[in-house]
Copies of this chain bind each other. A is one copy, B any other.
Amino acid sequence: MANPQHGDLVFPIEEYQERVRKLRESMAAKGMDAVILAMPQDLFYLTGYQTPGYYWFQVLVVPLEKEPFMVTRLLESSNIPARTWIKNSRPYADHEDPTKILADAIKEFGLDRATIGYDRDAYFFRAFEQEGVISKLPNAKFKNCTGIVEQLRMIKSPLEIDRMERAARAADAGMIAGINAVRAGVNEDEIAAEIHNAMFRAGSEWPAMSPFVATGWRGAVGHMTWEHRTVEEQDYVFLEVAGCYNRYHAALMRTVTVGETPQRIKDGEKVCLDAMAACLEAIKPGVPASEVDTLARGIIAKADVEQAARTAYSIGIAFPPDWGEGHIISMRQGHDMPLQAGMTFHLIPWVQVPGHGGVGITETIVVTDDGCRVLTNVDRKVFSA
């Protein structure tokens, strides 16, 4: 029985060194001597650390020059030698105040008079925890550093794209199994069972959100998923699946009709395919993200359907509750940043056909040097069961 080793790093050590180097460059530019990071995505990106147990306080502190260190729950701290290159950790016992352990560690490592960035917007660094740390370090200066790692995560390296391709293979397998399971008389639960069975056998790890399986009227309600309903003749079935590999995600949507596909749904399918084709043609480095949204909206507005959401959201490393990272960059009005090679998106120009239901035919894509490449691979159409 082998013991966990640093050899279990997801990527070569040089990948992490480069990520930390870029982070420190950004810290220096913002005048920060150290940053306290709390989003599980950021911890994983910089160190390889992961656990589903982030409902207990956990942070990574990266100083400008000295060794980074972590403060985690004692029960989780075995993940540090098993998964990361981090040498220093100061775990806390369940009955201890983690903010005191963190403040003590900041003193121990000589940062208690430093200018410290902290991730003010992180879900898992709550208001009272922020106050707990700040109040214990009266000589430090605190600044909001939200987004400092996300700006790096926005552009994926070739190694990261490789992991997203593996996630896409698992998502494809789950989606195909889901499509094949749809028929009148089947229960939503059985469709979900088939999707999971196939996607995990195809190599998916636990996704940041479960797949969406919404049948009949349930497809018109926001984010409904399987809940025991039996599929009926003439139902529409909405499926959305994300696969996960090394915490990297790739997702896609498909729609299945039970029985003959009504003309209105065929019209919806055509609009979705037209919008998708136009987006895939338009996406390349330099194009503002919002411009792709404008393009899709223009095509969809000409038809008698409603665009259901933004046109795309960034996707990559994810932990529950969200498999996307659309707050970093989305293709929507107001997000005017030019696209860059290595950005990855779930491209979702999907529609609601009034009085009928949703038609979703979507793909995960990567922006390349001269255009984009589709990572997911399931027939791009409305399926009929």
Contact = CB atoms under 8 A, between A and B. Distances in A.
B126 A77 contact: no
A76 B193 contact: no
Contacts of A198: 193
Interface stretch (A217-225, A263-271, A336-344): A217-225
Contact of A201 (B193, B206, B308, B310): B193
Contact of A95 (B75, B309, B334): B334
Interface string A308-346: 111000000001111000000000111000000000000
A196 B211 CA distance: 12
Nearest to A198: B193
Contacts of A221: 4, 78-79, 82
Contact of A210 (B203, B206, B234): B206
Interface residues of A, number: 68
Contacts of A4: 217-218, 221
B51 A223 contact: yes
A123 interface: yes
A77 B120 CA distance: 27
A52 B209 contact: yes
A58 to B, nearest CB: 11
A193 B189 contact: no
Nearest to A209: B52
A298 interface: no
A1 B231 CA distance: 11
A239 to B, nearest CB: 14
Interface string A165-209: 000000000000000000000000110111011101101111001
A197 B178 CA distance: 12
Nearest to A206: B210
A88 to B, nearest CB: 18
A301 interface: no
A124 interface: yes
A203 B228 contact: yes
Given A128-B121, A205-B227, A226-B205, A55 B321 contact: yes
Interface string A91-128: 00011000000000000000000000000111110111
Contacts of A78: 220-222
A121 to B, nearest CB: 6
A382 B168 CA distance: 37
A220 B226 CA distance: 34
Contacts of A3: 217
Interface in A294-313: 308-310
Interface of A: 1-4, 51-55, 73, 75-79, 82, 94-95, 120-124, 126-128, 130, 189-190, 192-194, 196-198, 200-201, 203-206, 209-210, 216-218, 220-228, 232, 234-235, 308-310, 319-322, 332-334
25 contacts: A1-B217, A2-B217, A4-B217, A4-B218, A52-B209, A53-B223, A55-B321, A73-B222, A76-B222, A78-B222, A79-B222, A79-B223, A94-B310, A126-B126, A189-B204, A190-B200, A192-B200, A193-B196, A193-B198, A193-B200, A196-B200, A200-B226, A203-B228, A206-B210, A206-B226
